[in-house]
Structure 1
Amino acid sequence: MTNNKVLALIAAIAMVTAAAGYGAYRFGLEQGMKGSKGAKGALAMPQPLYWHDPMVPGQRFDKPGKSPFMDMQLVPVYGSSGGDAVDGAVSISPRVQQNLGMRTALVTSGKLSAGVVAVGNVAYNERDVALVQARSNGFVERLYVRAPLDPVKKGQSLAELYVPDWIAAQEEFLAVRGMAGSGMAPLVDGARQRMRLAGMTDQQVRLVESSGKVHARLTIFAPVGGVIAELGAREGMTVTAGAQLFRINGTRSVWINAELPENVAAKVRAGDAVEARTPALPGSVFTGKVGAIVPEIDAATRTLKARIEMANPNGKLVPGMFATLTFAPSDGGMDVLLVPSEAVIQTGTRSVVMLAREGGRFMPVDVETGSENNGQTEIRKGLVLGQKVVVSGQFLIDSEASLKGTAHRSTEAPHTANPAPLHHGEGRVERIGKDEVTISHGPIASLQWGPMTMPFKLPAGLAGKVSVGERVAFDVIRRNDGSFEIAAMTPIAAINMPSTPAGAKR
């Protein structure tokens, strides 16, 4: 009995042990399978989207191999960089951005001052000129102003002339007036008129009447204040009626003749306010307005002349002075989109900015620019308010984009109208798609291509002329984006085709 109990206990223990071992085995197996799946997931590598030659990024291949263009292996492009090729953007890590010293700025809205800065020279106001002439024949007995550019005041004595013709007219007037009798008034008026005809002014006639004496000498006074621009009299010289003795330029106001380049002349209009500064008078600012735009362009400098009228009460502005002029806009202007001028890359044919996007991505964008002033450039088309643009390091981003083949370089010239050359080849049609055909072709010497299988763009008019499996002779042309397009394709008789290597895919 005792032995039977012992045997039963041993059997029960053995069964429990077996059950526990089987359970541990199943648990370990399940954990091992989970770990294996996790390891496989951790070790899984991303699959390349395609392979390409970095020197010819527009051409894509669907298998690794040697580049047909350069003596080098094709480089895989993975999904992380595939997005760059799709939307034309390039990704740059924050560390590289910091090394490049990259800076960005927001596209803002505001008024761009249309002020124009030009240079000019001070000149006399030709509308403030007085000419002093001899009214009768005579002689210059005394000259009070002896040199050109001497300053004079209004009413100042300029010269004294001896006029013999006045003596006879004055003596006749005095004699007739002294005659007694009635009916002499007409004779007196006639004698008075002869004095006026001799060149005497009413003031001089009244002086003769009041004094009763002959005045044979005439003192000439300055009609305006200014400077003697021209001096035509000298002591002792004979003068004739109408001879110019003095030319006086006023200095109460002056002209500043500004030279405006053709491209900004349209921004300046008559009546615009102007500020003038001159190195001769540091700290002084003179204000005036545009009097006129002279309708003539200097053939040598290609500039238009603007005539600015400036008040000169103290005579500080002297003809010949150099001045810097700032033309204020006639109106406040409208709000426009603005970016820093250093953000715009001028290629000669296009204006390009580098647009900063989320996740360290950058994309070149063509823009249409307008006016520029104070380091700000107006953007008329291509950007919207609030976008970020790169203001430093643009050319390095452009180089990175070119190497990755994501977009045409911003400095690349646009495609010209020159016809692309044709390249001839022969091969077998492997597949015909909606807009492309895959051909296993032999060597194409003009492109330095070896035998390969690759797709070509297929114009709609050629799609129904061949079928899969046919051997064809074809001509291809290179497109702007680097791909190749069938220009002509004709079925031919069977030919010996070389072995087909790794293909290419656009």
Structure 2
Amino acid sequence: MSRLQRSVVAVAVALAIGGAFYLGRTTAGGGDAAGANAPVQAASTGERRVLYWHDPMNPGPRFDKPGKSPFMDMQLQPVYADESSETGVKVSSQVQQNLGIRTAVVRRADVSMSFDAVGTVQFDERLNVAVQTRTSGYLERLHVRAPMERVIKGQALATVFAPEWLGPLNDIVALKRSGASADLVSAAKERTRAMSIPAELVRQAEAGGAPQARYTLVAPANGVVAELGVREGVAVSPGMTLFRIAGLEKVWAVVEVPEAQAVRLARGQKVAAALQADPARTFTGTLQDILPQVNPSTRTLQARFEVDNKGGRLIPGMLLRLQVAGATASRLVVPAEAVIRTGTRAVAIVRQGNGAFEPREVKLGADLGEQLEVTGGLAEGDEVVTSGQFLVDSEARLRSVLGSMAAAQPASAPASAATASVTYSAQGRVDGVDADSLTLSHGPIAELKWPAMTMPFNKPSPTAFADVKVGDVVRFEFRKKGEAYELVSVHRAGAAK
């Protein structure tokens, strides 16, 4: 090659090197600009924002950057802004289905403050009638011979002989026969009225008939003979009660009412009653009175209801089931199963609009059976969890976002039997064998939302799994016990190499 040709080649090589150098500079500069703008572009495209990093096995501590967990042999996991809330926890729809979570809507309902009670039928003592004699004599004949016999108005009860009546009646007969003046006859009749001689016997004497000192006592009202105080042949005296007749057109139903329910009662309240032995037989009644006395042993008051008994089907001693109607009012109610009672307060778990769950302390009013009245803490339309509250709480504790639930249940409370019985299975490799634990490297566990990691598991006893060695590939089952995880079974899938 000539000298001129060598010079041309050298110039071409120099130009090529210079162009390559300039192109590299330009390309590098463009890449830096793109890298600088990457966060802005990520933000503009709506990428998820990380709030902090944490260890799922110990979710309390928070870290401001990723890295290896100081507690377990695993990487820290991010918590995103759209997954976390200071007052609630989001649970995926799949997890909600697995947990069996059911909800109900807080609503207003027209509730009647009625309640059921059992009462005992008793005689209405206002209908009692006493049958007496106002003269001395003898009971010649008894027509009603046993207590509790039914009688009707005008029915003969007994025949009484009164010797003291013969004198006044004979005087009237003599005066009429002798043609005495009307004044004398009238005075004699006044004497018979003072001695309570029946008017019928006086009329017989005036008509000139033979004086009669016997008369029949009749029932003054319908009812039953509640008291029979005499027998045939006994002497009777003025003011002596021979019979006591109890009416049955109305009866009392006496109910023992707890103090808490007695405040809802008012005189005049209507009641529907049915026989305890035959609910098809119904009656109506009215609250007559609340006796002003509290039973110190049962802390109850007696309420007296008047019940219609025109057919006489109710008999003292029968049991009646009464439904006492109360005033109807609009009240805010929730299902009773939605409220967790801790003894000092009541808590409900509310589903928020963004799908998260949060606990709320509620104030309760009246117990309405399957529903409870809410006087504070909830609003109409709120959606509350009715089934799976404790599982939602477990999910919340795992993610450390429902710390307020810890106040509702003491930390020292034992785990429920249902939670303790749940077991999980996984496959892994034995990395360490100690007297009381095995260190295992396992893959992800979807049920607990665990990634692949290495962690220790407690043995149920120091002699358990004695044939397991470091390096073995095993299939194992475990469960949560306290704050740690305990192995249930370990089966070798491959020997140590």
TM-score by length of 1: 0.67
Aligned to 2:389: 394
Aligned to 1:468: none
- In structure 1, what residue type is equivalent to 2:341? Q
CA separation of 1:346 and 1:45: change in aligned 2, threshold 3 A: closer
> In the alignment, is the contact (CA less than 8 A) between 1:123 and 1:319 conserved in 2?
yes
Aligned to 2:12: none
User: CA–CA distance in 1 between the matches of 2:365 and 2:308?
Assistant: 35
User: CA–CA distance in 1 between the matches of 2:348 and 2:48?
Assistant: 39
Q: Secondary structure at the match of 2:80?
A: helix
- How do 1:453-492 and structure 2 match up within 5 A? none
User: CA–CA distance in 2 between the matches of 1:393 and 1:61?
Assistant: 31
Quote the offset at 1:54 in angstroms: 4.4
CA separation of 1:75 and 1:311: change in aligned 2, threshold 3 A: farther
User: CA–CA distance in 1 between the matches of 2:58 and 2:116?
Assistant: 48
Which stretch of the first structure deviates more once superposed, 113-122 or 42-51? 42-51
Given the alignment, which residue of 42, 48, 52 partners 1:48?
52
Aligned to 1:80: 80
> In the alignment, is the contact (CA less than 8 A) between 1:369 and 1:378 conserved in 2?
yes
Aligned to 2:175: 176
- How do 1:91-130 and structure 2 match up within 5 A? 91-130=90-129
Given the alignment, which residue of 255, 259, 264 partners 1:267?
264
Per-residue displacement from partner, 1:414-435 (whole Å, max 9, x unpaired)?
99xxxxxxxxxxxxxxxxxxxx
Aligned to 1:217: 214
> In the alignment, is the contact (CA less than 8 A) between 2:358 and 2:402 conserved in 1?
no
Q: Secondary structure at the match of 2:393?
A: helix
Quote the offset at 1:261 in angstroms: 1.0
User: CA–CA distance in 2 between the matches of 1:126 and 1:84?
Assistant: 72
Aligned to 2:159: 160
CA separation of 1:60 and 1:19: change in aligned 2, threshold 3 A: closer
Unaligned 5+ residue runs, structure 1? 1-14, 416-506
> In the alignment, is the contact (CA less than 8 A) between 1:352 and 1:410 conserved in 2?
no
User: CA–CA distance in 1 between the matches of 2:319 and 2:407?
Assistant: 40
> In the alignment, is the contact (CA less than 8 A) between 1:49 and 1:82 conserved in 2?
no
- In structure 2, what residue type is equivalent to 1:232? G
- How do 1:440-455 and structure 2 match up within 5 A? none
Given the alignment, which residue of 404, 407, 420 partners 1:408?
404
Q: Indicate the RMSD between aligned Cα atoms, in angstroms.
A: 4.0
> In the alignment, is the contact (CA less than 8 A) between 1:349 and 1:413 conserved in 2?
no
User: CA–CA distance in 2 between the matches of 1:317 and 1:126?
Assistant: 15
> In the alignment, is the contact (CA less than 8 A) between 1:52 and 1:75 conserved in 2?
no
Q: Is 2:328 the counterpart of 1:332?
A: yes
> In the alignment, is the contact (CA less than 8 A) between 2:364 and 2:372 conserved in 1?
yes
> In the alignment, is the contact (CA less than 8 A) between 1:108 and 1:337 conserved in 2?
yes
- How do 1:46-445 and structure 2 match up within 5 A? 46=50, 48=52, 54=58, 57=60, 78-80=78-80, 84=84, 86-87=86-87, 89-181=88-180, 184-210=181-207, 212-329=209-326, 331-333=327-329, 335-403=330-398, 404=400, 406-409=402-405, 412=408
Which stretch of the first structure deviates more once superposed, 271-280 or 31-40? 31-40
Q: Secondary structure at the match of 1:112?
A: strand
Per-residue displacement from partner, 1:174-206 (whole Å, max 9, x unpaired)?
22332235xx33332232122222221334433
> In the alignment, is the contact (CA less than 8 A) between 1:54 and 1:75 conserved in 2?
no
Aligned to 1:462: none
**Quick one: higher RCO (CA 8 Å, sep 6+), 1 or 2?**
1
Quote the offset at 1:322 in angstroms: 1.1
Number of residue pairs the alignment of both structures matches:
391
CA separation of 1:210 and 1:37: change in aligned 2, threshold 3 A: same
User: CA–CA distance in 2 between the matches of 1:207 and 1:264?
Assistant: 63
Aligned to 1:452: none
User: CA–CA distance in 2 between the matches of 1:73 and 1:134?
Assistant: 106
Quote the offset at 1:36 in angstroms: 12
- In structure 1, what residue type is equivalent to 2:381? G
Quote the offset at 1:109 in angstroms: 1.6
Q: Secondary structure at the match of 1:400?
A: helix
CA separation of 1:169 and 1:23: change in aligned 2, threshold 3 A: same
Q: Secondary structure at the match of 2:313?
A: coil
- In structure 2, what residue type is equivalent to 1:142? R
User: CA–CA distance in 1 between the matches of 2:364 and 2:26?
Assistant: 73
Question: Percent identical across equivalent pairs?
Answer: 37
TM-score by length of 2: 0.69
User: CA–CA distance in 2 between the matches of 1:280 and 1:36?
Assistant: 88
> In the alignment, is the contact (CA less than 8 A) between 2:49 and 2:80 conserved in 1?
no
> In the alignment, is the contact (CA less than 8 A) between 2:52 and 2:80 conserved in 1?
no
